[in-house]
Structure formats: C-alpha cells, structure tokens
Structure 1
Amino acid sequence: MWVGIDDTDSLKGGCTTYVATELVDKLKYDLIGFPRLVRLNPNIPWKTRGNGAIALQIGIGGGKKIEIGEINGRKIYCYSYKRKEANLEEIVSIIDEVVSKNAMKDADPAFVICQKKLPYWIYKKAVKEILSKEEVEKELQEKAFYKYYRKGRGMIGAAAAIAWKPRDRTYELITYGSEKWIDKESVIKMDKSCKSTFNNYDYENDYLAILPKANSPVFYGIRGENFEELKKAKEMLVTAKEERWLIFETNQATDEHLQKKKIKDVKPYESVIVKGIVKKEPHVIKGGHVVFSIYDENEIDCTAYEPTKQFRNIIKQLRKGDEVIVYGGVREKPFTINIEKIEVKRLAEVYEKVENPVCRKCGKHMKSIGKGKGYRCPICGTKADEKDAKYVKVERDIKPGFYEVPVIAMRHLTKPLKRIKKL
C-alpha cells in the first residue's frame, strides 16, 4: 500500500518528514523500500519552504532488510519486497490522526492511499510545471482513497510523491531533536572523508548546510549518493543526541525540475535550460543583483541574485558574444531566469582600446567625437573610424566550463557539479 502526504508544514514551522517518522512509528507495518522525500517545483509562489512531499510503501515485508533509522529507541528497517498487502481500514484512522495532530494550523494538508503506483505524469508535471488539485483529484477517482483538510493543496504533492519513478536518486539521513548543537569541525572532517556526501558545508561562506534554515523539528540532514556511507557520516559528527533519525530516498540534487527550452517557449514558474549568446552585458541593479541577457532568436534576462554571493563575480565577467547555457527557475515579475548554474561554452574575443588613432597629416593623436562616432584631428580636422584606434586582445579570467552557485544558495533539486562530473 502506498501512502503519500504533503503540506503539513507552513512558513511558520512544522515538517512533513517528521510526520513520516510518526507514521513509521504508529503504523504496525513494514516499510517496503525506503521512505521517499520528493521535492516539487521550487518556483511555485504558494510553496511551503522546500516544497517537499513524502511517500511510504507499507505492508508485510520480505527479502533483504536494511537498517534505515531509529525512532523512540526502536530500530527501523526497510524490506526489498512486499509479501502481504496492508489493510486499508486499519491504516486510514491512524494516518488521519497523525496528520491532524502534526499539521500546522495554517497548512493545507492531504493524504493519498493507493495499492498501485500513480501515473508518472503526475510527478513530472508537479516538478516541472503547475499541477492543479482538480487534475489530481480527477486522476484519483476510483484509484485511491484520499482525504484533505482545509483547501487540501497537499493532495498534489502527496500524489506526486507516490508517482515518482527514480531515474536518478540520492538519499538524505535526517535527524530530529529538541536539543541542537553541533561541532563545526566534525562536519568539515566528515565532509572531506565521506566522498559520496554533498552540500554539507559551504567553505566560501562558512555555512553549515546540514542545519535547517527554518523553525523545524529537524536537527540536521546529511545528503549523499550512498545510504550506507550516510550512516558512517552520522557517526563522525560530534553533536547533541538526536531523538530519532530516518533515511529517505529523494530526488534532491537530480535537476529533475529542469527542461530544455528555446527562449520563446520559456514560461513563468518553470525551471529551464536555455542556450544563448550574451547580448546585454552584466550590470548590477539595486539590491546587488547582477543581470544580463542572452538571445537565440529571442531575448531573455538572466539574474544572479544577491544570495548567490561570490557567484555574481563570475557572472560579471561575461561579455557580449559569449555562448552560454543557463540553468534556473523562471520568475514572472521581473521576467527573468534565476540562475542556479551556468555553462560557458565559448568565449568571445574581447579587445581593449589602448591608443587613439594618429593623424597621418599632423602626426598628432586624434580626439573622440563621441561614443561610436569616430575621431577627429584637433589641428586639421581629419576624421578616422573607431576601428582605426589601436586595440589589444584582452586575456579573459573566466574560462569555458561549468559554474554553480555556492552551497548556501543551492536549491534542493539543483544537481551540484560534484554529481555532474560523476554521472
């Protein structure tokens, strides 16, 4: 039996993954496979922080079992296959009670229960575009049991988490607790030792990325490609004692939100990969954001926002004619691509004027008539074109290759370069 839940948290607090741990504790069934943490479209205006939903497959397990957590002193395992289905009537009231008790008052939670996985298009649209509650509810008719509270927007994520088919996947070991202190040096040591983990610590900005930014029961989370190494990583940390922990299978760091687009096809609230030539060179606007534009047959602005910190210095080095591929989410107002990473494919040749033209008659340096208007000799009035000045080729500091925002500004779904180089 599949169980999906979403939107139990809000901007004020709460955590849907914590609700998952409560369900694992209360439901007297085995986990079949890992519990899922599925991130959805990060550009949705009404999202709740990380826009993550959870899904569990439960039943009587069989085959290989793997230790994936501990809750209230009890070790938690998941099993490789299901020997017997869970009883719907037994679990509905428990799920209802857990969701009702743990959902924030201003949240719009929902849960979905079904025996078979839901169609993949639900996940695909929920992570890349805008999926409506009405579309989901229509699909769930006669296929699933579901319940929603208040507006019930959580139905979308609950269904999408069940519908996800992992083509690429990562894992996150999440701990929970009320006492929260952690030794920074142990995080750095773990980060350097556990090579399959990522986004633990931002060395440029001295930022512990394993800690949550918002008010939450989460203590810390370690992300990685190998769930066994996550357990090793946890043991390396010097921290307060967690109250519970659980490993989730996730779509984090997979770039599954992105879709290749021509500029003319780009729409607000999507996440896109767009190839183009730099047209308007980078300039800084109010707030410290850096904006430039690219074009194919059409033109669009691209922005490195202030929270991307040092990444803006890379963007400032772009010049007209550079060929780039921009990855990022599309804002509606202003209509721009919020850059997550960029690949510089080809650099334009840049020349710098070092000397005005010399008049052939007088031997004197000419003076500029005005920007783009050429030069005139101050003695005899002879004119010359812009191209007649002396130029030297500028050595560019930026080189072809990938550049990404720092860990402090990285979105959950963004695939870090560490993973791109491996895959």
Structure 2
Amino acid sequence: MIAEASDRIIRIGLDDTDHPESGCTTASFDDLLRSIEDQVVGFRLIERRLVRLWPFAVRRTRGNGALSAIIQIPENQRNSFNSVCNEWFEGLLRETAKFPPSPVRAAPVLLTSEGQLPEEWYWDTVRGHVELEPRLQEINSLSCIIRSGDECWGAVGASAAMAWQPTEDSTWELISWRDDSMIGKQRIVSSKVVSLMEREHSETFMNRDPTADRGLIAPRTPCPVLYGIRGATEASVEAAHLWLQFRSDVEHSPRWAAHRTNQLSDDHVRGVSLGTVITLPLETKGAHSHIAAYCGGLRADLVAFSEGGPVNRLLRRLLPGDRIAWVGLTAPDGSVHLERLALVDCVPRVVARPICCGRTMRSAGAGQTLRCQFCRREAERTWVSRGIDLRALDLIGNWSEPHPSNRRHLAKPLELDAPNL
C-alpha cells in the first residue's frame, strides 16, 4: 500500500516502562498501538520492531529490549494521534508510579518522529554505554516529540529502536500475551509441544534447548507474556503461533503480534578475533574460567562463565602457545566475555613416556637412554604427546558456544553462521 500525499509516516519508540517484578514493555506498546488504532481514523500499522540493546547497560531489565513501530496516518488525524499518545502516556506514568521500590525505577519515554533517525544511534547503543544528556540534545535537534516523566532514561533505548535499520537477515519474534486472569499462574506450554512446533514449522528456531529438554519460549517471570516464538519470517512465526493456539494443551492467548528483531544478529560484538594463549587457565569462584591471549600485539583477558558450558570446558583445556579464535563482548572492566570460542591450532600435550611390553619405559640413569624393565630394549629419551582431546566438547567445526538456554538474545548461533578458520 502506498501512502497518499496527505498521509504521514510516523515512527514511534518506547522504552524503560518495566521493573524486575512488574510491567512489560511489549505489552505496554501493544496497548498503545491498539489505542491509536481504535481512535485514529485511517491508521495503518506498517511494522513493529523489538530491538535488543547493549547487554551491560546499567538500567537494563531482563532482555534489555526496546520497542518501535512505523505507522501511517492521514494528515488530518495528527492532532487526534497526538492526543491519544498524550492520554495513554499519562496513564502509563500513573501505572509505573505504583511499581515496588527499586534501586533503578522505571523512567519511561514515548518518542515520535516523522523522519528516519540516524542509524549510528542504534550502533552506539547496541555496542556500548550512551550518556543520556547528549542523546537528548540530538533527539531535540531533530524536532522529535518526547513524552516523559521527571526522568527520561527511556529516551536512549526508544531512539535506538527507532534508528535501527533491518537487513534481509533480520529475524522475527511473535509475542503472545496472557489473559489478565492468568497472570501469575503457571504457563501451559510444555517442552514437548515446543519440540513438535519446531518440527512442524521448520523456519522457526531457537525456541527450545535440546540439551536440557527445555522450551525457551515461555518466560519464568510473572509478566503478561505467554510466549515468544522466534523464526526467519513473519509468516513462519504467525503459522507456528496459530498451530499452538489450535491445540487443547496450550494456554489460550487473547492477543499477539509479530515483531521484526535484531536478535541473533551479533550486532553487539565486533567480529572474530584471533590470538595466542599466554597463560594457563585460572578457575575462580563459581567455576568461571579466565585466560589471557595476545591479539594484534595487545593482551586480551578472556572470561568463560560456568553457564557457558562447552565454551568453559574448551577454555579450561587450553595451554600457552595454543592458537585460538573467539567472539566476545567487552565488559566495562575491559575483560572479554566469551560467546564463542574455537581452537585453531594447539601445542602438543605431553601424555607419557613411550610404552614397551605394556608398561612405561623408564630412564636408565642421568643422561642415559630409556629402557624397558622387561625386555631391556632401549629408546631415546622422549615423551609421547598428542593434540588436545576435543571429544565431548559439543563443537560445531572448531567452534564451541553456550547451550541455547544460556545465550544472549543478540548472539548468532553457530548453526546459522560458523566462521571458517
């Protein structure tokens, strides 16, 4: 559908509406769009977007996602649109004021613009910390409308979500919400049903962790979300949702919506690094493991958390001199939190002295050869060595990654892209 000359294309962004124990930005945004649809004549929703941002953001809650949408309205409905947004946001502020006390209280912002925002706003926000005041100055310079309370931290995420420009590889997530009477009760979406769903709908992915026989689509918090289905296309996630909703063993969802997302994109990291291990692994409290490597003449301190599973196990087998590749996220303390790790080449692992007559050969004395204690055969003083044993490490090619339950929303799975080394 092509916009009429008198129509306006408007971008909307929302963030920082929730609390660790209350609220849900996706549900709030759905409420807003439904209010606009009900009250603005000629409204058309072009696309919803769910954008994940920098995982180390201080004010993040749960998946650290912000919402945006592109809509179309007639020119003569602009005042009506603004009135709906104002009224809805005032109600949101009243709701967030009721949230339980928290060190970081909700500071929601609803942002609207009739122009495309600079794409670098997205890249800055998905790859690092963004200060509020400079971003607010940039937003105001573009004549965007900002609705906020006393604090407006949500402007950072809302503007980043609006500035994101999807690619042909962007994924989709359909979010379904629960009936209000069901919130707080156990969700009825079994791992078996999720497994059947992925089998029936092959373009859906990352909805289940087969290593733990656990479905990943239903959150464990008392929020309004029933489940979120991830897939390659809008049609694939909608078909999977309808398939679930026709089943008698899945909780009914009264409303749902599909969002284009930056999930599984690796936008938060800066590509593959290559280096040489220079220290032995160090294990710290909680079974987290650390190692140092040289990369391009600089030292990199690498961290593999116990939840990283295969990544942690591979790191603990490394020795100085091993050549490795990694993809990771640089933390505020400068360390690199590994999301994928690969062994490129390894130094020999000493196993034992040579074997003769079923037993290890022994030294015949200082400076002398090795000798078999049974047949008296002699051999040079050597050690038997071999490469690292990579069995039982759950590698894809040379690469290791955490099991699905422990990956970030933004991390690209090896099954979608395992770099060649």
Normalised to the residue count of structure 2, the TM-score between the two structures is 0.79
Name the amino acid aligned to 1:165.
Answer: Q
Note the residue ranges of structure 2 that are not aligned, 5 or more in a row: 1-9, 100-104, 354-360, 372-379
Distance 1:418 1:22 in 2: 36
Which residue pairs with 1:257 in the alignment? 268
Structure 2 counterpart of 1:410, from 403, 407, 410: 407
Which residue pairs with 1:274 in the alignment? 273
**1:219 aligns to 2:229 (yes or no):** no
Structure 2 counterpart of 1:48, from 52, 61, 80: 61
Distance 1:326 1:86 in 2: 50
Name the amino acid aligned to 1:282.
Answer: P
For residues 181-211 of structure 1, what are the alpha-carbon distances to aligned partners after superposition, in whole Å with 9 as ceiling and x for unaligned?
Answer: 1132111111233222222111112322111
Which residue pairs with 1:394 in the alignment? 386
Normalised to the residue count of structure 1, the TM-score between the two structures is 0.79
Are the equivalent residues in 2 in contact too, given 1:19–1:98 (CA < 8 A)?
A: no
Distance 1:50 1:361 in 2: 63
**Alignment of structure 1 residues 20-419 onto 2, 5 Å:** 20-28=29-37, 29=40, 30-60=43-73, 86-87=78-79, 88-103=81-96, 105=99, 106-142=105-141, 143-167=143-167, 168-178=169-179, 179=182, 180-237=187-244, 238-260=249-271, 273-296=272-295, 297-333=297-333, 335-354=334-353, 357-359=363-365, 389-398=381-390, 401-419=398-416
Distance 1:137 1:291 in 2: 39
Name the amino acid aligned to 2:163.
Answer: A
Distance 2:122 2:367 in 1: 74
Distance 1:358 1:47 in 2: 66
For the structure 1 residues 362 and 289, does the alpha-carbon distance in structure 2 shift closer, same or farther, using more than 3 Å as the test?
closer
398-407 or 19-28, which moves further after superposition?
A: 398-407
Distance 1:300 1:85 in 2: 55
Which residue pairs with 2:357 in the alignment? none
Secondary structure (helix, strand or coil) at the match of 1:281 reads: coil
Name the amino acid aligned to 1:359.
Answer: G
**1:3 aligns to 2:16 (yes or no):** no
Are the equivalent residues in 1 in contact too, given 2:189–2:218 (CA < 8 A)?
A: no
Note the residue ranges of structure 1 that are not aligned, 5 or more in a row: 61-81, 261-272, 366-387
Query: What is the total number of aligned residue pairs between the two structures?
Result: 367
Distance 2:45 2:95 in 1: 24
Are the equivalent residues in 2 in contact too, given 1:290–1:315 (CA < 8 A)?
A: yes
For residues 49-88 of structure 1, what are the alpha-carbon distances to aligned partners after superposition, in whole Å with 9 as ceiling and x for unaligned?
Answer: 211110112224xxxxxxxxxxxxxxxxxxxxx9998445
Secondary structure (helix, strand or coil) at the match of 1:294 reads: strand
Which residue pairs with 1:264 in the alignment? none
Are the equivalent residues in 1 in contact too, given 2:265–2:410 (CA < 8 A)?
A: yes
Distance 1:165 1:53 in 2: 14
Distance 1:32 1:85 in 2: 14
Distance 1:115 1:338 in 2: 39
- Name the % identity: 26
Name the amino acid aligned to 1:417.
Answer: L
For the structure 1 residues 229 and 201, does the alpha-carbon distance in structure 2 shift closer, same or farther, using more than 3 Å as the test?
same
200-209 or 409-418, which moves further after superposition?
A: 200-209
Secondary structure (helix, strand or coil) at the match of 2:259 reads: strand
Q: CA RMSD in A?
A: 2.7
For residues 337-368 of structure 1, what are the alpha-carbon distances to aligned partners after superposition, in whole Å with 9 as ceiling and x for unaligned?
Answer: 21111233333333334266543777677xxx
* Structure that is richer in strand per residue: 1
For residues 202-236 of structure 1, what are the alpha-carbon distances to aligned partners after superposition, in whole Å with 9 as ceiling and x for unaligned?
Answer: 11123221111433111110111111111222233
Secondary structure (helix, strand or coil) at the match of 1:236 reads: helix
